[in-house]
Amino acid sequence: MTFKDLGLSDSLLKAIEKKGYTQPSPIQEKAIPQVLQRKDVLASAQTGTGKTAGFVLPILEILKKETFKRPQVRALVLTPTRELAAQIQQNVKEYSTFTELKSTVIFGGVNQKPQVFTLKQGVDILIATPGRLIDLNNQGFINLKKIEIFVLDEADRMLDMGFVRDIQRIMAILPEKRQNLLFSATFSKEIKKLANGILTNPVMVEATPENTTVEVIKQRVIRMDKPRKTAYTIKMISEGDWQQVLIFTRTKHGANKLTEKLNNKKISAMAIHGNKSQNHRTKALAQFKKGEVRVLVATDIAARGIDIPLLPHVINYEIPNISEDYVHRIGRTGRAGANGVAISLVDNDELAYIRDIEKLTKQTFDKEIIEGYEPPHIDESQIKKPKGNPGQTRGRGSRNPNSKPGNKKHYYQKGSKGNGGKR
C-alpha cells in the first residue's frame, strides 16, 4: 500500500515524499480513505503511529479541491495543549507546502494580537486549544459558521483535563451539517459516550489494541530508594553519555528541583510545565530538539505535545498515578518504528501505581534492583493504593481527589473553573 493508493493527489504526494515517508502507517491506511469518503470517523491509535497525518492529509485533499480568494475557516482541529497544537500546525504547514491552503494555530498564554491579525487575513484550517478559541469567538474575531470538517484530537486527554464543557460550548457554535473526526489514544467508555454526542454513524478504525505499548520500546522498571533517584538519574545520563533524555515528574516543583540539580552537575537541562511561559516552553522544546539541551524535564502536559522522531530515552522519574499517562509518556520514544528505551524509577510509595499500569497494559514488568540504590524492604502483599492523587496537578476540571488511580466514575469535580486554555 502506498500513499497514492489511498487517493491522495500529486501536490500532497510531493509533500509526503519531501518529508521522507514512503508507506502509510496502519492508522493512516485505515483512516484516510474513510475521511476522503466524507464519513464521520472514530479512530484510535497509539501515540507515535501517525494519527495526525491520518486526518491532516485527507482534510487537505478535500479542501484544496475548492479554494477561495479570501480563505475562511473551513476545518477546525481542537486539541488540548499548546505544544500539541503547535506540532499539528507544523505538520499542516509541511503537508500543504504545494497547495494554496492557509492555516494557523491559536492558544492561550501568549498575546492574542498576532493571532487575531493572522485570522483577519483569512485561513482555511484552524488549529486551536479550547480556551483561546472560545475567547476569540466571544470577541468576534473568529467565524465558525462555515466549518466543513471538525476534528477533536487527543479526545481522551481532553476529557482528562476537564474540557468537556468547553467542547460542548464549541459544538453549539459549529454548523450542524459537517464532517466530524474524533481521534484518541484509547477507546474508553467515556470516549465512546463523547463520540455519540458528536459523530453521526461513525466508522470505527483502530490500529493497535487499546492501551498497549509500542513493541520497539524497551521498558525497564527499577525499584529505587526515593532519596537516591536523583543520584541514579545523574549516573545513568553521565555514564551512558546520553545526549537527549526526556524526564517526567508528577509536579511542577519536582520538575524545577530536578532541573536545578542536573544543571549543577553540568548536565544541561530545562523544565516545561504549566507555570512556565509559552515563550519559555517553546524555547526549551526547540533547544531540546536541536540538541542544545541534553535533558527536558516535563510534567504530563507535555506527554503528547513532544514529537521527536529519534528520541532515544524517556525516564519516569516519578510514576504517573493515572495509568494511561504511562502509555503516553513512554510513547514519546520508539516513534515511527525507531527503537527507544523507557526507564521507570519506582519507590515503595509507587508500587501500587505500577500494578495499575501492569493491569492496564496487560504486562508484568521485571523489576530490577540496583546495588547501592535498593529501596527499604517492605511486605509488598500489604501495599495499598495511596488515597487521592498526591502531587498530581491537572488544572481545569481535575479528577475527584477521592477517586483511586484508574477510577473513571468520579471524573470531574463540580464547579471547577477553567484556565482559559493556558495549558
Tens-place pLDDT, residues 101-150: 999 999 998 899 999 999 999 999 999 999 999 999 999 999 999 999 99
pLDDT band at residue 381, thresholds of 50, 70 and 90? low
Nearest to 61 by CA among 98, 27, 21: 98
Q: How far is Cα 132 from Cα 419, in angstroms, rounded to an integer?
A: 10
Mean pLDDT of 352-364: 90
DSSP 332-348: TSSGGG--EEEEEEE-G
Which pLDDT band, with edges at 50, 70 and 90, does 1 fall under? confident
Here the cell at position 371 is 546495588
Contact 395, 161 (CB under 8 A): yes
pLDDT of residue 194: 87
pLDDT score recorded for residue 416: 35
HSE-up (13 A, CA, CB side) for residue 202: 23
Where would I find the H helices in 223-303? 229-240, 252-264, 278-290
User: What is the average pLDDT value for the chain, to the nearest integer?
Assistant: 83
- Please, what are the domains in the chain? 10-206 (3.40.50.300), 217-382 (3.40.50.300)
Tell me: pLDDT of 95 over 70. yes
- Quick one: pLDDT at residue 335? 56
